[in-house]
């Protein structure tokens, strides 16, 4: 599959600004990102040519919410590659979560058998479990009581969180994403893992009412979306439900707490890994 690579440079550079840019770009159809280990950037973002809309990209840059930050970009079409081979060679190795779950790709061989084994075909999407936001969410799922629960997975990416919840005994899972590419990838991974009780839908939080009420919310997106959509999430949670949020820095936890409190959720606990946060709330 061919991709367009867009290279962003921010002035002044900051890690928070680059993370926000990645999150906003994902809403335009960018499905993979490569960030420099330095806060100086740049950020490389990848999108299929059919989804690339330069006018929309320019509007994003014009409306970028970091005051005083300028964004310069350049793009080029990359050569057609076997992206699974690239993942195998350069990026994705099997991941073990607390000796209970092993995540591997379709090209991995001799994978250790654990209590839960998840196979994914990454397809240049987020959600291999290697990022701290995803791995922390997976640890929370493993420690939660998922048995017979109805689960909502917002911003499902590869579908890895919903798949794990179903493996842990969830009665059903509804996975939702704004990105058609993520929807396709999640459907592939549902089939790979033989998960019959997981449905996936294109959309956002404004359409949640049609799916009913849930016992467990999984929301690994980013700060601005979580804060903005918190009332929609809370409205669809049953009394006693659990809400797990990740995709933001630990220092931003107070903003999440305030939004959750205003929506009727009570803070339970939070964990931190590499400055990233995963927070748990309850609905009374």
- Extract long-range pairs of 263-271: CB within 8 Å, 24+ residues apart: 263/230, 263/231, 263/233, 263/234, 263/235, 264/234, 265/230, 265/234, 265/237, 268/242, 271/136, 271/139, 271/140
- Weakest-pLDDT range from 57-71, 135-149, 197-211: 57-71
pTM of the complete model: 0.73
Q: Does domain 4-77 have CATH number 3.40.50.300?
A: no
Looking at the predicted structure, is the pLDDT value of residue 1 above 70? no
Quick one: how far is CA 186 from the chain centroid?
12
Q: 237, exposed or middle or buried, with CB in 10 Å at 0-12, 13-18, 19+?
A: buried
Residue percentage of the chain with pLDDT more than 70: 89
Please report, in angstroms and rounded to a whole number, the separation of the first and last CA atoms in the chain. Answer: 47
**In the chain, which residues fall in CATH 3.40.50.150?**
127-283
Instruction: Name the CATH architecture for the domain at 127-283.
Output: 3-Layer(aba) Sandwich (3.40)
Structure confidence at residue 19 (pLDDT): 78
Residues 90-117 have a mean pLDDT of 85
157-204 pLDDT, tens per residue? 889 999 999 999 999 999 999 878 788 889 999 999 999 999 999 999
- Extract the tokens encoding 118: 């998840």
Structure confidence at residue 275 (pLDDT): 79
259-280 pLDDT, tens per residue? 999 999 999 999 998 778 999 9
**In the chain, which residues fall in CATH 3.30.70.100?**
4-77
Q: Round to whole Å and give the CA distance between 159 and 34.
A: 20
């Amino acid at each position: 599959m061919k991709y367009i690579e867009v290279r962003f440079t921010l002035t002044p550079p900051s890690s928070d600004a680059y993370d926000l840019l990645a999150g906003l770009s994902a809403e335009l159809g960018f499905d993979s990102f490569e960030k420099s280990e330095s806060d100086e950037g740049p950020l490389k973002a990848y999108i299929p040519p059919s989804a690339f809309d330069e006018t929309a990209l320019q509007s994003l840059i014009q409306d970028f919410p970091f005051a005083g930050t300028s964004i310069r970009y350049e793009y080029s079409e990359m050569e057609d590659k076997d992206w699974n081979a690239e993942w195998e060679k350069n990026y994705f190795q099997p991941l073990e979560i607390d000796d209970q779950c092993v995540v591997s790709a379709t090209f991995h061989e001799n994978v250790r058998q654990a209590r839960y084994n998840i196979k994914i075909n990454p397809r240049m999407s987020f959600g291999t479990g290697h990022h701290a936001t995803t791995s922390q969410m997976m640890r929370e799922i493993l420690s939660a009581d998922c048995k017979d629960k109805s689960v909502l997975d917002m911003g499902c990416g590869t579908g890895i969180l919903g798949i794990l919840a179903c493996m842990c005994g969830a009665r059903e899972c509804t996975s939702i994403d704004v990105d058609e590419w993520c929807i396709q990838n999640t459907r592939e991974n549902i089939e790979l893992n033989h998960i019959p009780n997981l449905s996936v839908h294109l959309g956002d939080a404004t359409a949640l009412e049609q799916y009913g009420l849930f016992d467990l919310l999984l929301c690994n997106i980013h700060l601005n979306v979580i804060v903005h959509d918190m009332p929609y999430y809370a409205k669809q949670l049953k009394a006693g439900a659990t809400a797990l949020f990740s995709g933001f820095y630990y220092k931003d936890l107070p903003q999440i707490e305030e939004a959750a409190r205003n929506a009727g959720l009570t803070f339970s606990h939070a964990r931190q890994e590499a400055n990233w946060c995963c927070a748990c709330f309850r609905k009374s």
